[in-house]
Amino acid sequence: MNISLVIPVINELACIAAAVDSGWRAGVDEVLVVDGGSTDGTWQLLERLNCRSLRSPAGRAAQQNAGAASARGDVLLFQHADNRLSPRAADQIREALGNPRRLCGAFRQRIDSPRRVYRCLEWGNAWRVRWQGMPYGDQGIFVRREIFQQLGGFPEVPLMEDVLLMRRLRRLAWPVLLPGPLLVSPRRWERHGVVRQTMRNWSLLAALRLGVSPARLAAWYRRHDQPAEGA
């Protein structure tokens, strides 16, 4: 069972090398990094890293779909650039998908901070996967390649592509939660505040359920490399 790791990037010079390295240490069979138009030197760095580098239009959904289309693996693993896989991640996936009824899943998180509030977030995110069947992109979503293709990949929307894909996947099979852990940067919570960022996430999800379009929601959600509000 070959695993292809797909990492979308835009202006991730500070962390992409560690993300790529974690993939190889985790035991994946190939690493694809898809750049969406970086201007900080990320693309130039990718030429020196041990990965396949591609360019695509900006947008996490479009970038991940481009990576998936070029991938050779039986399993697609999608990882955010500021996340790092555990050394046993690939083994955990192979063991889980040894059961043919399992189609997809994600990892337990470990947010890279000693603050106790993050332990609560980790617990809540694990609970969401187990009881709602809804992992998010920063939990390292993996899926059998043929199922991903059957569903048409990520919906090419500017936000919530992970939620929309998982809604379709969980109708086919409940996602499995693997122990990981997936090491996650706290940068977005630290930048906006834990409570504020969490409430913003919940508000976006509620708005999506009420029918607000992902395009409209994207206007409320700043990318990591964009100036903070009031800056």
Q: Which pLDDT band holds residue 211 (cuts at 50, 70, 90)?
A: confident
More confident residue, 188 or 62: 62
Q: What is the pLDDT of residue 195?
A: 73
pLDDT digits (tens, 9 = 90+) for 26-69: 999 999 999 999 999 999 999 999 999 999 999 999 999 999 99
Domain count, the chain: 1
Angular region, 152: left φ>0, alpha ψ -120 to 50, beta rest: left
Would the pLDDT of 231 be above 50?
no
Residue 204 lies in a domain: no
Q: What is the pLDDT of residue 189?
A: 82
Q: What is the pLDDT of residue 218?
A: 67
Q: Answer yes or no: are the C-beta atoms of 43 and 11 closer than 8 Å.
A: no
pLDDT digits (tens, 9 = 90+) for 128-182: 999 999 999 999 999 999 999 999 999 988 788 999 999 999 999 999 999 999 9
User: 17-31, 36-50, 186-200: which range is least confident on average?
Assistant: 186-200
Q: What number of helices (H) and strands (E) belong to the chain?
A: 10, 8
Tabulate helix, strand, coil % of the chain (nearest 5).
Answer: 45, 20, 40
Rounded distance, CA 97 to CA 89, Å? 12
Residue 226 lies in a domain: no
Would the pLDDT of 228 be above 60?
no
As a whole number, mean pLDDT of residues 96-114 equals 96
> What does pTM read for this prediction?
0.90
User: What domain range is 93 assigned to?
Assistant: 3-190
Residue 215 lies in a domain: no
Residue 132 lies in a domain: yes
Q: Which pLDDT band holds residue 220 (cuts at 50, 70, 90)?
A: low
Residue 24 lies in a domain: yes
Instruction: Look up the CATH number of the domain holding residue 147.
Output: 3.90.550.10
Q: Which pLDDT band holds residue 230 (cuts at 50, 70, 90)?
A: very low
As a whole number, mean pLDDT of residues 205-229 equals 65
CB atoms within 10 A of CB 138: 20
* DSSP classification of residue 133: -
Beta strands in the chain (DSSP E): 3-9, 30-35, 52-55, 75-78, 83-84, 104-111, 142-144, 176-184
Residue 227 lies in a domain: no
Q: What is the pLDDT of residue 203?
A: 72
Residue 12 lies in a domain: yes
Of the chain, the percentage scoring pLDDT greater than 90 comes to 78
Residue 18 lies in a domain: yes
Q: Which pLDDT band holds residue 227 (cuts at 50, 70, 90)?
A: low
